[in-house]
Amino acid sequence: MELMEAMKGRRSVRNFQDRMVPETQVRDILKVMDFSPNAGNRNSIRTVVLTNRDGIEYIGKAHTTIIRNFNRGIVSLPTEEAIEKSPSAFHNAPMVVALFGPKNFYFSPADAYILAQNMALAAYEQGVSTCIVGEVLNSLGTEKGQALQAAFGIPENFAPQAYVTMGYCKGPYPKRPSRHYADVIYR
């Protein structure tokens, strides 16, 4: 597939079939990591492919709760009860690629989002649907979240920077949303 064709055709998918993308295919998609630009070529992003339903649900719900609180001016960590009641930011994705970066590195978010978009394009080329889910604060900041992060083998000085949900689109593929970019100034 031509690059431009993939860039024009890829859409954010938020409704997934209940089946996993095979591991070999996911690993193939994640090879974009070996070719993506990254600040200082430090290769500092660490990637965890989440396939455990409970883990995905917990992080997705924590993500929604933290963003909702943030929008209401609440910066303290949410309670487990509030998390449990929230919908998941990951929709019904069967798997989620979590991109962790060092907390004290200015370019961690930039590195993560460049990888996320490259993954989304590589996935689209292979018939796999994705949605980039932005990380605003730290969805793994709770005690339970930190325990999950430790179980992934990701050190405490790392935080999630972005997520890419992955799976097969259920129902019609989304239509291209309208864009509102102003005209480019060219002098």
Ligand X SMILES: Cc1cc2nc3c(=O)[nH]c(=O)nc-3n(C[C@H](O)[C@H](O)[C@H](O)COP(=O)(O)O)c2cc1C
Q: Which residues bind ligand X (CB under 6 A)?
A: 11-12, 14, 89, 113, 131-134, 174, 177
Distance in Å, CB of 133 to ligand X, minimum = 4
Query: Residue 179 contacts by C-beta under 8 Å, 6 or more apart in sequence?
Result: none
Closer of 151 and 165 to ligand X (Cβ)? 165
Instruction: Tell me the residue number closest to ligand X, measured at CB.
Output: 134
* C-alpha neighbours within 13 Å on the C-beta side of residue 105: 22
Distance CA(148)–CA(151), nearest Å, equals 5
Closer of 23 and 60 to ligand X (Cβ)? 60
Contact 114, 173 (CB under 8 A): no
- Distances in Å between the alpha carbon of 177 and those of 12, 70, 111, 135, 173? 10, 27, 26, 22, 12
Closer of 153 and 177 to ligand X (Cβ)? 177
Distance in Å, CB of 185 to ligand X, minimum = 23
Distance CA(113)–CA(68), nearest Å, equals 22
Distance in Å, CB of 13 to ligand X, minimum = 8
Closer of 48 and 150 to ligand X (Cβ)? 48
Distance in Å, CB of 55 to ligand X, minimum = 18
Closer of 132 and 137 to ligand X (Cβ)? 132
Distance in Å, CB of 153 to ligand X, minimum = 25
DSSP secondary structure letter of residue 39: G
Distance CA(148)–CA(60), nearest Å, equals 13
